[in-house]
Amino acid sequence: MKLPELFLNQMRELLGAEYEAFEKSLAFPGYRGLRVNTSKTDTEAFQAAAPFPLERIPWIPNGFYLEEEAKASLHPWYAAGLYYLQEPSAMTPASCLPVEEGDRVLDLCAAPGGKATELAARLKGSGLLAANDISNSRAKGLLKNLELSGAANILVTSETPERLASYFEGFFDKILVDAPCSGEGMFRKDSAMVRDWEEKGPAHYAPLQRSILEQAARLLRPGGLLLYSTCTFSPEENEGSVLHLLKARPDFRVLPLPASEGFSPGRPDLLGEASDTFYGEQLARCLRLYPHRIRGEGHFLALLKKEGETSAQKGTFPKPSLTGKLEEKAAAPWKAFASRLRTDLNPENLRLYDGKLYWLPDALLERNIRGLRFLRTGLYLGDLEKNRFVPSQAMAMALRKEDWADWVDLPAKDGRVIRYLKGETLDAGELMREEASSGWYLVCTDGFPLGWAKLVNESLRNKYYPGWRWQHASG
Protein backbone atom coordinates (compact mmCIF):
# COMPACT_ATOMS: atom_id res chain seq x y z
CA MET A 1 0.00 0.00 0.00
CA LYS A 2 1.41 3.37 -1.06
CA LEU A 3 0.98 5.99 1.68
CA PRO A 4 1.68 9.73 1.39
CA GLU A 5 5.26 10.54 2.33
CA LEU A 6 4.05 13.51 4.38
CA PHE A 7 1.98 11.17 6.55
CA LEU A 8 4.86 8.72 7.00
CA ASN A 9 7.23 11.53 8.00
CA GLN A 10 4.71 12.75 10.57
CA MET A 11 4.41 9.24 12.02
CA ARG A 12 8.23 8.96 12.20
CA GLU A 13 8.28 12.11 14.28
CA LEU A 14 5.34 10.99 16.42
CA LEU A 15 6.54 7.45 17.15
CA GLY A 16 10.31 7.76 17.17
CA ALA A 17 11.84 4.36 17.90
CA GLU A 18 8.47 2.65 17.47
CA TYR A 19 8.06 3.75 13.87
CA GLU A 20 9.60 0.62 12.35
CA ALA A 21 7.13 -1.62 14.21
CA PHE A 22 4.29 0.65 13.11
CA GLU A 23 5.42 0.52 9.47
CA LYS A 24 5.51 -3.29 9.57
CA SER A 25 1.99 -3.38 11.00
CA LEU A 26 0.66 -1.57 7.92
CA ALA A 27 1.34 -4.64 5.79
CA PHE A 28 -1.17 -6.66 7.84
CA PRO A 29 -4.78 -6.55 6.56
CA GLY A 30 -6.24 -5.92 10.01
CA TYR A 31 -8.69 -7.75 12.23
CA ARG A 32 -12.37 -8.60 12.07
CA GLY A 33 -14.52 -8.36 15.16
CA LEU A 34 -17.89 -9.45 16.53
CA ARG A 35 -19.65 -7.76 19.44
CA VAL A 36 -22.39 -9.68 21.25
CA ASN A 37 -25.72 -7.89 21.69
CA THR A 38 -26.15 -8.30 25.45
CA SER A 39 -29.75 -7.08 25.30
CA LYS A 40 -30.61 -10.37 23.55
CA THR A 41 -28.13 -12.94 24.83
CA ASP A 42 -25.44 -13.56 27.42
CA THR A 43 -21.84 -13.21 26.24
CA GLU A 44 -20.63 -16.48 27.78
CA ALA A 45 -23.63 -18.43 26.50
CA PHE A 46 -23.10 -17.00 23.03
CA GLN A 47 -19.43 -17.94 23.01
CA ALA A 48 -20.23 -21.47 24.12
CA ALA A 49 -22.81 -21.97 21.33
CA ALA A 50 -21.24 -19.85 18.58
CA PRO A 51 -21.29 -21.49 15.13
CA PHE A 52 -17.81 -20.19 14.29
CA PRO A 53 -14.51 -19.91 16.23
CA LEU A 54 -14.16 -16.87 18.49
CA GLU A 55 -11.31 -15.34 20.46
CA ARG A 56 -11.85 -12.77 23.20
CA ILE A 57 -10.80 -9.15 22.67
CA PRO A 58 -8.95 -8.38 25.94
CA TRP A 59 -10.37 -4.90 26.49
CA ILE A 60 -13.97 -5.44 25.30
CA PRO A 61 -16.11 -7.56 27.69
CA ASN A 62 -18.50 -8.69 24.95
CA GLY A 63 -16.12 -8.47 21.98
CA PHE A 64 -14.43 -11.22 19.99
CA TYR A 65 -11.96 -11.57 17.17
CA LEU A 66 -13.50 -13.28 14.18
CA GLU A 67 -11.60 -15.46 11.73
CA GLU A 68 -11.37 -14.09 8.21
CA GLU A 69 -13.23 -17.03 6.66
CA ALA A 70 -16.14 -16.92 9.12
CA LYS A 71 -19.32 -15.95 7.27
CA ALA A 72 -20.95 -14.33 10.27
CA SER A 73 -23.18 -11.99 8.26
CA LEU A 74 -24.73 -15.00 6.50
CA HIS A 75 -25.84 -16.79 9.66
CA PRO A 76 -29.46 -16.57 10.89
CA TRP A 77 -28.26 -15.31 14.28
CA TYR A 78 -27.11 -12.15 12.54
CA ALA A 79 -30.66 -11.63 11.25
CA ALA A 80 -31.88 -12.21 14.81
CA GLY A 81 -29.70 -9.31 16.01
CA LEU A 82 -27.55 -11.39 18.34
CA TYR A 83 -24.34 -9.64 17.32
CA TYR A 84 -22.87 -6.73 15.40
CA LEU A 85 -19.80 -7.02 13.17
CA GLN A 86 -17.33 -4.30 14.10
CA GLU A 87 -13.61 -3.66 13.95
CA PRO A 88 -12.10 -4.34 17.44
CA SER A 89 -10.71 -0.85 18.13
CA ALA A 90 -13.99 0.72 17.00
CA MET A 91 -15.72 -1.10 19.87
CA THR A 92 -13.66 0.84 22.40
CA PRO A 93 -15.46 4.23 22.58
CA ALA A 94 -18.90 2.84 23.47
CA SER A 95 -17.27 0.42 25.90
CA CYS A 96 -15.47 3.29 27.68
CA LEU A 97 -18.54 5.52 28.11
CA PRO A 98 -19.98 4.45 31.51
CA VAL A 99 -23.65 4.21 30.56
CA GLU A 100 -26.06 3.28 33.35
CA GLU A 101 -29.67 2.15 33.23
CA GLY A 102 -32.03 5.12 33.05
CA ASP A 103 -29.50 7.45 31.41
CA ARG A 104 -30.35 9.82 28.61
CA VAL A 105 -27.63 9.08 26.08
CA LEU A 106 -26.75 10.79 22.80
CA ASP A 107 -24.60 9.34 20.02
CA LEU A 108 -24.02 12.51 18.05
CA CYS A 109 -22.29 11.10 14.95
CA ALA A 110 -23.86 7.67 15.08
CA ALA A 111 -24.03 6.06 11.60
CA PRO A 112 -23.76 3.23 10.77
CA GLY A 113 -24.73 2.28 14.32
CA GLY A 114 -22.03 0.04 15.78
CA LYS A 115 -21.52 2.22 18.81
CA ALA A 116 -25.20 3.20 19.12
CA THR A 117 -26.35 -0.42 19.28
CA GLU A 118 -23.92 -1.11 22.13
CA LEU A 119 -25.11 1.97 24.03
CA ALA A 120 -28.71 0.84 23.56
CA ALA A 121 -27.90 -2.64 24.87
CA ARG A 122 -26.33 -1.21 28.02
CA LEU A 123 -29.43 0.89 28.74
CA LYS A 124 -31.40 -2.40 28.90
CA GLY A 125 -34.56 -0.79 27.57
CA SER A 126 -34.52 2.08 30.09
CA GLY A 127 -33.85 5.78 29.65
CA LEU A 128 -33.35 7.08 26.13
CA LEU A 129 -30.84 6.65 23.34
CA ALA A 130 -30.80 9.50 20.84
CA ALA A 131 -28.77 8.57 17.75
CA ASN A 132 -28.02 11.26 15.18
CA ASP A 133 -26.27 11.51 11.85
CA ILE A 134 -26.33 14.63 9.72
CA SER A 135 -26.57 12.50 6.55
CA ASN A 136 -30.13 11.35 6.01
CA SER A 137 -29.08 8.36 3.91
CA ARG A 138 -26.61 7.22 6.56
CA ALA A 139 -29.21 7.78 9.26
CA LYS A 140 -31.49 5.29 7.48
CA GLY A 141 -28.80 2.62 7.81
CA LEU A 142 -28.37 3.63 11.45
CA LEU A 143 -32.09 3.12 12.09
CA LYS A 144 -32.03 -0.33 10.50
CA ASN A 145 -29.16 -1.45 12.71
CA LEU A 146 -30.88 -0.16 15.84
CA GLU A 147 -34.12 -1.91 14.91
CA LEU A 148 -32.23 -5.11 14.07
CA SER A 149 -30.68 -4.99 17.54
CA GLY A 150 -34.13 -4.74 19.13
CA ALA A 151 -33.69 -1.23 20.53
CA ALA A 152 -37.01 0.38 21.46
CA ASN A 153 -36.13 3.39 23.63
CA ILE A 154 -34.70 5.41 20.74
CA LEU A 155 -34.86 8.72 18.95
CA VAL A 156 -33.14 8.67 15.55
CA THR A 157 -32.49 12.08 14.02
CA SER A 158 -30.68 13.60 11.04
CA GLU A 159 -29.76 17.07 12.23
CA THR A 160 -26.82 19.40 12.73
CA PRO A 161 -25.43 19.49 16.27
CA GLU A 162 -26.53 23.13 16.50
CA ARG A 163 -30.16 22.22 15.78
CA LEU A 164 -30.09 19.43 18.33
CA ALA A 165 -28.66 21.80 20.93
CA SER A 166 -31.55 24.20 20.35
CA TYR A 167 -33.96 21.39 21.33
CA PHE A 168 -31.99 19.48 23.97
CA GLU A 169 -29.64 21.89 25.72
CA GLY A 170 -28.43 20.39 29.01
CA PHE A 171 -30.60 17.30 28.48
CA PHE A 172 -28.23 14.33 28.16
CA ASP A 173 -26.41 12.42 30.89
CA LYS A 174 -23.87 10.83 28.55
CA ILE A 175 -22.74 11.80 25.04
CA LEU A 176 -20.56 9.97 22.54
CA VAL A 177 -18.84 12.01 19.84
CA ASP A 178 -17.10 9.66 17.42
CA ALA A 179 -16.11 12.56 15.25
CA PRO A 180 -15.52 12.76 11.50
CA CYS A 181 -11.76 12.66 11.05
CA SER A 182 -8.92 12.21 8.58
CA GLY A 183 -8.97 8.45 9.22
CA GLU A 184 -5.24 7.85 9.51
CA GLY A 185 -5.87 4.92 11.83
CA MET A 186 -7.90 3.12 9.14
CA PHE A 187 -5.50 3.46 6.21
CA ARG A 188 -4.59 -0.23 6.08
CA LYS A 189 -8.26 -1.27 6.00
CA ASP A 190 -9.69 1.38 3.69
CA SER A 191 -7.62 2.90 0.90
CA ALA A 192 -10.36 5.47 0.26
CA MET A 193 -9.34 7.12 3.53
CA VAL A 194 -5.91 7.81 2.03
CA ARG A 195 -7.44 9.72 -0.87
CA ASP A 196 -9.62 11.69 1.55
CA TRP A 197 -6.56 12.53 3.66
CA GLU A 198 -4.71 13.85 0.61
CA GLU A 199 -7.69 15.99 -0.43
CA LYS A 200 -8.65 17.29 3.03
CA GLY A 201 -6.52 16.07 5.91
CA PRO A 202 -6.40 17.25 9.54
CA ALA A 203 -6.65 20.92 8.60
CA HIS A 204 -10.14 20.27 7.24
CA TYR A 205 -11.41 18.05 10.05
CA ALA A 206 -10.03 19.77 13.17
CA PRO A 207 -12.31 22.87 12.93
CA LEU A 208 -15.30 20.61 12.29
CA GLN A 209 -14.51 18.47 15.33
CA ARG A 210 -14.14 21.51 17.55
CA SER A 211 -17.48 22.90 16.43
CA ILE A 212 -19.15 19.55 17.14
CA LEU A 213 -17.54 19.37 20.58
CA GLU A 214 -18.74 22.86 21.49
CA GLN A 215 -22.33 21.87 20.64
CA ALA A 216 -21.96 18.58 22.50
CA ALA A 217 -20.91 20.60 25.55
CA ARG A 218 -24.21 22.49 25.32
CA LEU A 219 -26.19 19.26 25.05
CA LEU A 220 -24.61 17.72 28.16
CA ARG A 221 -26.10 18.29 31.59
CA PRO A 222 -23.94 19.45 34.53
CA GLY A 223 -22.21 16.41 35.97
CA GLY A 224 -22.55 14.53 32.68
CA LEU A 225 -19.87 12.67 30.75
CA LEU A 226 -18.70 13.12 27.14
CA LEU A 227 -16.57 10.56 25.28
CA TYR A 228 -14.68 12.01 22.32
CA SER A 229 -13.05 9.63 19.86
CA THR A 230 -11.46 9.55 16.42
CA CYS A 231 -9.78 6.93 14.23
CA THR A 232 -6.78 9.12 13.44
CA PHE A 233 -3.28 9.71 14.85
CA SER A 234 -3.26 13.45 14.15
CA PRO A 235 -2.40 15.51 17.26
CA GLU A 236 -4.29 18.43 15.73
CA GLU A 237 -7.51 16.39 15.62
CA ASN A 238 -6.95 14.50 18.87
CA GLU A 239 -5.25 16.30 21.75
CA GLY A 240 -5.66 19.56 19.85
CA SER A 241 -9.45 19.30 19.69
CA VAL A 242 -9.67 18.29 23.35
CA LEU A 243 -7.44 21.21 24.30
CA HIS A 244 -9.69 23.55 22.33
CA LEU A 245 -12.71 22.39 24.34
CA LEU A 246 -10.88 22.70 27.66
CA LYS A 247 -9.93 26.28 26.88
CA ALA A 248 -13.35 27.21 25.49
CA ARG A 249 -15.21 25.51 28.35
CA PRO A 250 -13.35 25.76 31.69
CA ASP A 251 -16.15 23.68 33.24
CA PHE A 252 -14.80 20.53 31.55
CA ARG A 253 -12.12 18.17 32.83
CA VAL A 254 -10.55 15.03 31.35
CA LEU A 255 -11.05 11.84 33.36
CA PRO A 256 -8.73 8.81 33.34
CA LEU A 257 -9.81 5.92 31.11
CA PRO A 258 -9.44 2.20 31.86
CA ALA A 259 -6.02 0.91 30.94
CA SER A 260 -5.30 -2.20 28.90
CA GLU A 261 -2.13 -3.79 27.63
CA GLY A 262 -0.91 -1.89 24.58
CA PHE A 263 -2.86 1.30 25.24
CA SER A 264 -0.80 4.49 25.16
CA PRO A 265 -1.43 7.79 26.99
CA GLY A 266 -2.21 11.07 25.28
CA ARG A 267 0.63 13.16 23.87
CA PRO A 268 0.39 16.79 25.03
CA ASP A 269 4.05 17.21 24.02
CA LEU A 270 3.00 16.99 20.37
CA LEU A 271 1.16 20.29 20.81
CA GLY A 272 4.03 22.08 22.48
CA GLU A 273 2.16 21.90 25.80
CA ALA A 274 4.59 21.17 28.64
CA SER A 275 3.65 17.95 30.42
CA ASP A 276 3.80 19.62 33.84
CA THR A 277 1.17 22.25 33.00
CA PHE A 278 -2.52 21.88 33.87
CA TYR A 279 -3.46 21.21 30.27
CA GLY A 280 -0.61 18.77 29.81
CA GLU A 281 -1.78 16.79 32.82
CA GLN A 282 -5.31 16.73 31.43
CA LEU A 283 -4.32 15.63 27.93
CA ALA A 284 -2.07 12.84 29.23
CA ARG A 285 -5.26 11.17 30.49
CA CYS A 286 -6.41 10.56 26.92
CA LEU A 287 -5.76 7.22 25.24
CA ARG A 288 -4.08 6.37 21.96
CA LEU A 289 -4.42 2.98 20.25
CA TYR A 290 -1.78 1.98 17.69
CA PRO A 291 -1.93 -1.04 15.34
CA HIS A 292 1.61 -2.13 16.26
CA ARG A 293 0.71 -2.26 19.95
CA ILE A 294 -2.71 -3.90 19.89
CA ARG A 295 -4.62 -6.21 17.57
CA GLY A 296 -6.77 -3.46 16.16
CA GLU A 297 -6.69 -0.23 14.18
CA GLY A 298 -5.62 3.25 15.28
CA HIS A 299 -7.91 5.15 17.62
CA PHE A 300 -7.98 8.04 20.08
CA LEU A 301 -10.25 8.51 23.11
CA ALA A 302 -10.87 11.18 25.73
CA LEU A 303 -13.47 11.03 28.51
CA LEU A 304 -14.56 14.46 29.76
CA LYS A 305 -16.80 15.51 32.63
CA LYS A 306 -18.86 18.66 32.75
CA GLU A 307 -18.53 20.12 36.20
CA GLY A 308 -21.47 21.34 38.25
CA GLU A 309 -24.23 19.69 40.19
CA THR A 310 -26.59 17.35 38.43
CA SER A 311 -29.85 19.16 37.81
CA ALA A 312 -33.15 17.40 38.39
CA GLN A 313 -34.68 16.26 35.11
CA LYS A 314 -38.26 17.44 35.25
CA GLY A 315 -40.98 17.21 32.65
CA THR A 316 -41.42 20.92 32.21
CA PHE A 317 -41.74 20.89 28.43
CA PRO A 318 -44.94 20.53 26.43
CA LYS A 319 -45.79 17.06 25.22
CA PRO A 320 -45.21 16.29 21.54
CA SER A 321 -47.82 18.02 19.47
CA LEU A 322 -47.16 15.91 16.38
CA THR A 323 -48.73 12.81 17.92
CA GLY A 324 -52.09 12.07 19.43
CA LYS A 325 -53.43 9.47 21.83
CA LEU A 326 -55.53 6.66 20.46
CA GLU A 327 -59.20 7.25 19.96
CA GLU A 328 -61.35 4.36 21.09
CA LYS A 329 -62.29 3.33 17.54
CA ALA A 330 -58.67 3.28 16.43
CA ALA A 331 -57.60 1.57 19.65
CA ALA A 332 -59.82 -1.50 19.20
CA PRO A 333 -57.62 -3.27 16.59
CA TRP A 334 -54.53 -2.61 18.68
CA LYS A 335 -56.19 -3.91 21.83
CA ALA A 336 -57.21 -7.10 20.04
CA PHE A 337 -53.64 -7.63 18.88
CA ALA A 338 -52.12 -6.63 22.24
CA SER A 339 -54.28 -9.20 24.06
CA ARG A 340 -51.77 -11.78 22.83
CA LEU A 341 -48.79 -9.88 24.18
CA ARG A 342 -47.18 -11.28 27.30
CA THR A 343 -45.44 -8.04 28.16
CA ASP A 344 -46.86 -4.72 29.31
CA LEU A 345 -46.85 -1.56 27.20
CA ASN A 346 -48.14 1.43 29.13
CA PRO A 347 -51.07 2.92 27.17
CA GLU A 348 -49.92 6.38 28.28
CA ASN A 349 -46.83 5.93 26.11
CA LEU A 350 -48.73 5.05 22.92
CA ARG A 351 -49.00 7.62 20.18
CA LEU A 352 -50.70 7.46 16.78
CA TYR A 353 -49.45 9.45 13.81
CA ASP A 354 -50.68 9.04 10.22
CA GLY A 355 -52.02 5.59 11.00
CA LYS A 356 -48.75 4.39 12.52
CA LEU A 357 -48.60 3.41 16.17
CA TYR A 358 -45.56 4.13 18.33
CA TRP A 359 -44.47 3.45 21.88
CA LEU A 360 -42.52 6.45 23.20
CA PRO A 361 -39.94 6.36 26.02
CA ASP A 362 -40.88 8.49 29.02
CA ALA A 363 -38.12 10.99 28.21
CA LEU A 364 -39.73 11.79 24.87
CA LEU A 365 -43.12 12.44 26.44
CA GLU A 366 -41.59 15.55 27.96
CA ARG A 367 -40.32 17.13 24.77
CA ASN A 368 -41.86 19.10 21.97
CA ILE A 369 -39.85 17.97 18.95
CA ARG A 370 -41.95 19.58 16.25
CA GLY A 371 -39.66 20.79 13.48
CA LEU A 372 -36.88 18.35 14.32
CA ARG A 373 -35.85 16.14 11.41
CA PHE A 374 -36.25 12.66 12.82
CA LEU A 375 -36.55 9.17 11.38
CA ARG A 376 -37.92 7.42 14.44
CA THR A 377 -39.39 8.26 17.83
CA GLY A 378 -39.48 5.29 20.15
CA LEU A 379 -40.59 1.85 18.97
CA TYR A 380 -42.62 1.65 15.78
CA LEU A 381 -45.26 -0.93 16.69
CA GLY A 382 -47.14 -1.16 13.39
CA ASP A 383 -49.99 0.20 11.29
CA LEU A 384 -53.66 0.63 12.03
CA GLU A 385 -55.46 -0.22 8.80
CA LYS A 386 -59.27 0.06 8.96
CA ASN A 387 -60.28 -2.64 11.41
CA ARG A 388 -56.96 -4.43 11.80
CA PHE A 389 -53.50 -3.90 13.24
CA VAL A 390 -50.41 -4.93 11.22
CA PRO A 391 -47.31 -5.34 13.42
CA SER A 392 -43.93 -3.99 12.30
CA GLN A 393 -40.58 -5.70 11.79
CA ALA A 394 -39.16 -3.40 14.48
CA MET A 395 -41.67 -4.70 17.01
CA ALA A 396 -40.78 -8.32 16.21
CA MET A 397 -37.10 -7.58 16.84
CA ALA A 398 -37.84 -5.85 20.15
CA LEU A 399 -39.79 -8.83 21.52
CA ARG A 400 -38.56 -12.00 23.18
CA LYS A 401 -40.13 -15.29 22.14
CA GLU A 402 -41.95 -15.52 25.46
CA ASP A 403 -43.45 -12.05 24.98
CA TRP A 404 -45.86 -13.34 22.33
CA ALA A 405 -48.53 -16.00 22.68
CA ASP A 406 -47.99 -17.77 19.34
CA TRP A 407 -44.61 -18.55 17.83
CA VAL A 408 -42.71 -20.93 15.59
CA ASP A 409 -39.14 -21.78 16.60
CA LEU A 410 -36.72 -23.37 14.12
CA PRO A 411 -33.08 -24.41 14.58
CA ALA A 412 -30.67 -22.14 12.70
CA LYS A 413 -29.55 -25.15 10.64
CA ASP A 414 -33.11 -25.78 9.42
CA GLY A 415 -33.32 -24.78 5.77
CA ARG A 416 -36.72 -23.23 6.37
CA VAL A 417 -35.05 -20.42 8.32
CA ILE A 418 -33.22 -19.23 5.20
CA ARG A 419 -36.38 -19.68 3.17
CA TYR A 420 -38.21 -17.46 5.65
CA LEU A 421 -35.47 -14.81 5.51
CA LYS A 422 -35.74 -14.84 1.71
CA GLY A 423 -39.47 -14.07 1.98
CA GLU A 424 -40.91 -17.48 1.12
CA THR A 425 -44.17 -18.89 2.46
CA LEU A 426 -43.72 -21.87 4.82
CA ASP A 427 -45.85 -24.99 5.03
CA ALA A 428 -47.41 -24.88 8.48
CA GLY A 429 -48.39 -28.54 8.60
CA GLU A 430 -45.28 -29.83 10.38
CA LEU A 431 -44.74 -26.69 12.45
CA MET A 432 -48.05 -26.04 14.15
CA ARG A 433 -49.92 -27.67 16.98
CA GLU A 434 -53.23 -29.28 16.04
CA GLU A 435 -55.14 -26.67 18.02
CA ALA A 436 -53.21 -23.76 16.46
CA SER A 437 -55.41 -20.82 15.55
CA SER A 438 -55.02 -18.49 12.61
CA GLY A 439 -53.37 -15.11 13.06
CA TRP A 440 -49.98 -13.59 13.72
CA TYR A 441 -47.01 -15.81 14.63
CA LEU A 442 -43.56 -14.78 15.73
CA VAL A 443 -41.00 -16.73 13.68
CA CYS A 444 -37.88 -17.49 15.73
CA THR A 445 -34.60 -19.30 15.33
CA ASP A 446 -33.05 -21.01 18.36
CA GLY A 447 -35.43 -19.00 20.54
CA PHE A 448 -34.71 -15.57 19.04
CA PRO A 449 -37.30 -13.65 16.96
CA LEU A 450 -36.71 -13.01 13.26
CA GLY A 451 -40.04 -11.49 12.21
CA TRP A 452 -43.74 -12.13 11.65
CA ALA A 453 -45.77 -14.63 9.67
CA LYS A 454 -49.53 -15.02 9.42
CA LEU A 455 -51.15 -18.44 9.64
CA VAL A 456 -53.82 -18.85 7.00
CA ASN A 457 -55.16 -22.37 6.50
CA GLU A 458 -52.04 -24.56 6.23
CA SER A 459 -49.63 -21.79 5.26
CA LEU A 460 -47.46 -19.38 7.20
CA ARG A 461 -47.59 -16.33 4.98
CA ASN A 462 -44.29 -14.52 5.15
CA LYS A 463 -44.37 -11.02 6.65
CA TYR A 464 -40.62 -10.53 6.96
CA TYR A 465 -39.88 -6.94 6.00
CA PRO A 466 -39.17 -6.90 2.22
CA GLY A 467 -36.31 -4.43 2.56
CA TRP A 468 -34.45 -6.86 4.83
CA ARG A 469 -34.96 -10.05 2.83
CA TRP A 470 -31.90 -12.15 2.11
CA GLN A 471 -30.66 -12.71 -1.42
CA HIS A 472 -28.16 -15.50 -0.72
CA ALA A 473 -29.07 -19.16 -0.58
CA SER A 474 -27.40 -20.44 2.56
CA GLY A 475 -26.11 -19.38 5.96
pLDDT score at 474: 46
- Taking residue 160's Cβ as centre, other Cβ atoms within 10 Å add up to 15
With cut-offs at 50, 70 and 90, classify the pLDDT of residue 325.
Answer: low
Separation between Cα atoms, residue 349 and residue 107, nearest integer Å: 23
pLDDT digits (tens, 9 = 90+) for 163-172: 999 999 999 9
pLDDT score at 457: 85
Separation between Cα atoms, residue 370 and residue 388, nearest integer Å: 29
Q: Using the predicted structure, report yes or no on whether residue 329 has a pLDDT greater than 70.
A: no
pLDDT score at 413: 96
pLDDT score at 463: 97
Average pLDDT over residues 311-326: 45
Separation between Cα atoms, residue 351 and residue 455, nearest integer Å: 28
Torsion, Cα of 244, 245, 250, 251 (10° steps)? -170
pLDDT score at 458: 84
Average pLDDT over residues 422-439: 80
Q: Using the predicted structure, report yes or no on whether residue 327 has a pLDDT greater than 90.
A: no
pLDDT score at 314: 39
**Inter-residue contact 86 to 33 (CB < 8 Å):** yes
Q: Using the predicted structure, report yes or no on whether residue 320 has a pLDDT greater than 50.
A: no
Average pLDDT over residues 405-420: 95
pLDDT digits (tens, 9 = 90+) for 344-402: 888 899 999 999 999 999 999 978 899 999 999 999 999 998 889 999 999 999 999 99
pLDDT score at 321: 37
pLDDT score at 311: 56
With cut-offs at 50, 70 and 90, classify the pLDDT of residue 261.
Answer: very high
109 noted as active-site residue: no
pLDDT score at 433: 61
Average pLDDT over residues 424-436: 77
The catalytically annotated residue of 96, 109, 181, 231 is 231
Mean of per-residue pLDDT scores for the chain: 93
